Amino acid sequence: MTEPADDIFAQLKQQATEQLKKITTPEELEQWRVNFLGRKGQVPRLLRTVKDQPAEQRAAFGQHGNKLRQELEGLLTAHQKKVGTRAMSQPQPKVNQAGLGHLHPLTLTRRRLQNIMAALGFLIIEGPEVEEEKYDFDALNIPFEHPARAETDTFYLAPRSPRGDGRVLRTSTSAVQVRAVIENDLVPPFQIASPGRVFRNEKPDPTHESTFYQLEALMVGPSVTVADYRSITEALFSTFFGKVASIRLRPGYFPFVEPGFEIDMSCPFCQSGCRLCKQTTWIEMGGAGMVHPNVLSNMNVDPEKYQGFAFGYGIDRFTMLQHGIDDIRLFWSGDIRFLKQFA
Ligand code: DAH
């Protein structure tokens, strides 16, 4: 004699299989799944009545119910292969769709500066980020004992050699000057510009980072003067900021130039003082000078016949001024909310 529960399960199975045979679309199949196997479907509903069965039949009832559920799940999977699933026939919902990437703000600035320099007739030459002490220091007239060469200021690739012949993460793009002239056999007159990343053993704060970017330029010829420096720099600043800028030279010391200057640009954002120029109407932009005769000799250029100027400006600084960014550390923060503003 069959148990009454068996009948119920057998009936349900017959009903389910008959309906299933007629199903030809993923939508109908999903409806079938909801009807028989969904949380409020017939099989789970029946299984929940296990507590209402006579105590001695509960175990068998549960077993039958679970067996039926497994069989129907098996039939479902098999039928899905025939008609496909809803996910395949309908467009995927647009959740968490990855956005398109875009260039970093520093890259955008570097490209703009590079294009302006190229338009001014400068050849763009890049150098290595790992540099020999010879180019990073000696060729630039920075002697072994100079404090900038200490390990507290400069990242060495190996413990510092007492012979000063090791390698460093370059501390400025000035390192490219001599290397570029020698490697490319440049003969005056020439004008080159080198954008790139530099490194300093420095504790980061809102205006300092241990890695940042510089734009270096070098122009050498028989009669290059401070006036040439001035006009090139004013053209660069004016073009970049879209407003005619003038510059102011203050005396500054850098071992590779003589005389050396610290450069201020007239504030392109105000007439009478603002946050960006700290109410002074002038903004510090970097260093420059007339190339030291020793440095000219180091690049095989005769200092008796030729002279030139060089400058080094911070690419991060241009970017911060342009966008009113007040913390240099944001560039390396990886903060997507910051970066998205430059998409
Ligand atoms: N190398 C200097 C620095 O990193 C910047 C600089 C100053 C570059 C004067 C020059 C220059 O070419 O003439 O602070």
- Residues 334 and 304: their CA atoms lie apart, in Å, by 50
Indicate whether residue 216 lines ligand 1 (CB < 6 A): yes
Q: Are 171 and 153 in contact (CB under 8 A)?
A: yes
Atom in ligand 1 nearest the alpha carbon of residue 291: 13
Helices of type H across the chain: 4-21, 26-36, 42-47, 58-83, 86-89, 105-119, 133-136, 174-183, 226-241, 293-298, 315-323, 336-339
Per-residue pLDDT at 89 exceeds 60: no
Among 163, 162, 191, smallest CA distance to 177 is for 191
pLDDT for 338 equals 95
pLDDT for 90 equals 56
DSSP 7: H
Q: For the CA atoms of the chain, what is the radius of gyration? A: 37
Q: Are 342 and 330 in contact (CB under 8 A)?
A: no
Indicate whether residue 312 lines ligand 1 (CB < 6 A): yes
- Residues 236 and 56: their CA atoms lie apart, in Å, by 93
Atom in ligand 1 nearest the alpha carbon of residue 217: 12
- Residues 290 and 308: their CA atoms lie apart, in Å, by 6
Question: Considering all CA atoms of the chain, what is the largest pairwise distance in Å, rounded to the nearest integer?
Answer: 120
Task: Take atom 8 of ligand 1 and give the residue whose Cα is closest.
Answer: 312
- Residues 337 and 341: their CA atoms lie apart, in Å, by 7
Among 28, 66, 29, 26, smallest CA distance to 46 is for 66
Question: Tokens at residue 206, please?
Answer: 């809102």
pLDDT for 87 equals 57
Residues 6 or more apart in contact with residue 144 via CB below 8 angstroms: 137, 164
Indicate whether residue 213 lines ligand 1 (CB < 6 A): no
The residue type found at 300 is N
Give the mutation target among 311, 313, 316 for probing the ligand 1 site: most ligand atoms within 8 A of CB.
Answer: 311
Indicate whether residue 233 lines ligand 1 (CB < 6 A): no
* Residue 299 and residue 154 share a domain: yes
Question: Tokens at residue 277, please?
Answer: 């120029």
* Residue 137 and residue 69 share a domain: no
Does any domain span residue 261? yes
Does any domain span residue 92? no
DSSP strand pairing (282-291 vs 257-266): antiparallel
Indicate whether residue 173 lines ligand 1 (CB < 6 A): no
Cα 65 to the center of its chain, rounded Å: 57
pLDDT for 169 equals 98
Q: Which of 30, 53, 87 is the last residue of a domain?
A: 87
- Residues 2 and 40: their CA atoms lie apart, in Å, by 27
- Residues 133 and 161: their CA atoms lie apart, in Å, by 10
CA angle at 205 for the pair 203 and 211, rounded to the nearest 5°:
60
Domain extent, residue 287, equals 109-332
pLDDT tens by residue, 236-248: 999 999 999 999 9
* Residue 290 and residue 246 share a domain: yes
Indicate whether residue 196 lines ligand 1 (CB < 6 A): no
Q: What share of the chain is helix, strand, coil (3-state, %, to 5)?
A: 45, 20, 35
Among 313, 337, 342, 317, smallest CA distance to 327 is for 317
Count the domains in the chain.
2
Measured in Å, residue 108 CA sits from the centre of ligand 1 at 22
Indicate whether residue 314 lines ligand 1 (CB < 6 A): no
* Residue 169 and residue 59 share a domain: no
Measured in Å, residue 137 CA sits from the centre of ligand 1 at 12
Helices of type H across 128-204: 133-136, 174-183
Q: Are 127 and 177 in contact (CB under 8 A)?
A: no
Indicate whether residue 287 lines ligand 1 (CB < 6 A): yes
Task: Take atom 11 of ligand 1 and give the residue whose Cα is closest.
Answer: 288
Lowest mean pLDDT among 55-59, 115-119, 131-135: 55-59
The residue type found at 117 is M
* Residue 142 and residue 28 share a domain: no
DSSP strand pairing (130-132 vs 167-169): antiparallel
pLDDT tens by residue, 235-288: 999 999 999 999 999 999 999 999 999 999 999 999 999 999 999 999 999 999
pLDDT tens by residue, 155-169: 999 999 999 999 999
Atom in ligand 1 nearest the alpha carbon of residue 177: 12
Does any domain span residue 94? no
Question: Tokens at residue 247, please?
Answer: 């510059």
Measured in Å, residue 341 CA sits from the centre of ligand 1 at 31
Does any domain span residue 230? yes
For the whole model, what pTM was predicted?
0.72
Give the mutation target among 117, 172, 178 for probing the ligand 1 site: most ligand atoms within 8 A of CB.
Answer: 172
Indicate whether residue 193 lines ligand 1 (CB < 6 A): no
pLDDT for 46 equals 83
Question: Tokens at residue 272, please?
Answer: 């009478």
pLDDT tens by residue, 20-42: 888 988 888 888 888 888 888 88
* Residue 175 and residue 258 share a domain: yes
Per-residue pLDDT at 3 exceeds 70: no
Task: Take atom 7 of ligand 1 and give the residue whose Cα is closest.
Answer: 287
pLDDT for 92 equals 55
pLDDT tens by residue, 227-237: 999 999 999 99
Task: Take atom 4 of ligand 1 and give the residue whose Cα is closest.
Answer: 172
- Residues 270 and 273: their CA atoms lie apart, in Å, by 6
Task: Take atom 5 of ligand 1 and give the residue whose Cα is closest.
Answer: 312
* Residue 81 and residue 113 share a domain: no
Does any domain span residue 103? no
Indicate whether residue 172 lines ligand 1 (CB < 6 A): yes
Q: What is the CATH number of the domain that holds 311?
A: 3.30.930.10
* Residue 149 and residue 183 share a domain: yes
* Residue 132 and residue 81 share a domain: no
* Residue 295 and residue 201 share a domain: yes
* Residue 301 and residue 183 share a domain: yes
* Residue 310 and residue 256 share a domain: yes
Among 230, 233, 288, smallest CA distance to 261 is for 288
Atom in ligand 1 nearest the alpha carbon of residue 261: 9
Percent of the chain with pLDDT over 90: 70
